[in-house]
Amino acid sequence: MQDDEGLDRILREWTITTTLPPRFKQRVWRRIEKLDAGPQAGGSWLQRLVGSVILRPGFASIYLSAVLAAGIAAGALVAQATTSRLKTELSMRYVESIDPYPAELHK
């Protein structure tokens, strides 16, 4: 109790000498309004997307499935291209090992 009385006394004696920045009140109210409006209002497009779309019920699972499917499809395409390129490379290495004529002679 004694502590509280001491604190009260200090607070009563404390005088604020610094002045508030211009339009301080308006800025505080604007921030309060923004928070009240929820995550959709304001913020970057990513914040809006994360806040409003991804967290929608059911969307997260659709998003994760779609990203996984895209990763698998891209992996399959790139693997196919790599395999095809390596096979061509190896077949040409075989041909070059047994063909005495340089390729330009045949062109």
Residues that bind other proteins (CB under 8 A): 39, 47, 49-51, 54-55, 60, 63-64, 67-72, 74-76, 78-80, 82-83, 86-87, 90-91, 93-95, 97-101, 103, 105-107
In sequence order, which residues have a C-beta less than 8 Å from that of residue 53 and are 6 or more positions away? 59
* CB of 32 or CB of 86, closer to other proteins: 86
* CB of 23 or CB of 107, closer to other proteins: 107
CA distances from 86 to 33, 44, 80, 81, 83 (A): 61, 45, 10, 9, 5
